[in-house]
Amino acid sequence: MSYQNYLVYRMGAGVLATIGFYSVLYRENKFYRFFEHMYIGLAVGYSIVALWTETLHDLWWHRMLGAHAVPGANGVPGQPATNAHWAWMLLLPIGLLGYTVFNKKYNWLSRIPIGMIIGFNAGQQIQIWFNQYGPQMKDSMRPIFPTTIKSFFVPDTLHMATKQAAEVKNTVYASQAINNFLFVLTLTCVLSYFLFSFDVKSKVLRGMNTLGRWLLMVGFGAIFGSTVAMRFTLVIDRMYFIFIEFLKQGVFHR
């Protein structure tokens, strides 16, 4: 069997599975259940093998046992012997303690590895938090007043000399200032919506609070729209796979 034929047969299996999964749209059926169970079985089997080949073997077993020196050959440099680190062995019982969560009597032991993981992560939180939000906080400080009234919009810099283009970049035009103002207003209103610690009595604050809720809804709507577009793309991709890749380019083009 040629490689091309093999690819078509392999795609055929994929097409069958796709139709099997989509058949649930008509109604619950055994064809769908068969492929669902097959998928779960494959995923679990693959994950177990990959757990060893991709993770435990390279990152734990190999480090625990060390390696002999490998002489270089055919332009590929050799590698020196590495020491065995038997301390890695201790990770096995600690890791296995996690599974005691399934036993009523000994499930308290599972807290040991969980505690270690939480401890490692908690120690890094300050750095993590600042790395994630620090630059965003800095970016929130935007100028809301224009620095020039020569032009409302940002001039076209495509055909400008470098010096002039740099000058345009360092100037705040009215259109940019409006954008920045909308950004700062949204940020402030949305933040004020989350003031739950005290009773909001000020009319201004209550107005901002309401506006914040509306702006959040607009944001969620945009996110939902993006999500829907993505789901459609997944359907389109499956149809492309069945009709173009399998049938047009595979079966009828051999």
Interface positions with another protein (CB under 8 A): 25-26, 46-47, 50-51, 53-55, 57-59, 62-63, 70, 73-77, 79, 120-121, 124, 128, 131-132, 135-136, 138-139, 154, 156-158, 162, 165, 219, 222-223, 226-230, 232-240, 243-244
Nearer to another protein, 160 or 205 (CB): 160
35 contacts 13 by C-beta, under 8 angstroms: no
Question: Shortest distance, CB of residue 141 to another protein, whole angstroms?
Answer: 11
Residue ranges of alpha helices (H) inside 59-202 are 62-65, 91-96, 111-140, 162-169, 174-193
User: CA geometry: angle at 118 spanning 115 and 123, to 5°?
Assistant: 125
Nearer to another protein, 56 or 211 (CB): 56
Nearer to another protein, 138 or 203 (CB): 138
Q: Two tokens at 224?
A: 């939902």
Nearer to another protein, 142 or 200 (CB): 142
207 contacts 192 by C-beta, under 8 angstroms: no
Question: Shortest distance, CB of residue 206 to another protein, whole angstroms?
Answer: 27
Question: Shortest distance, CB of residue 93 to another protein, whole angstroms?
Answer: 18
Question: Shortest distance, CB of residue 51 to another protein, whole angstroms?
Answer: 8
Task: Provide Rg for the chain, Cα atoms.
Answer: 30
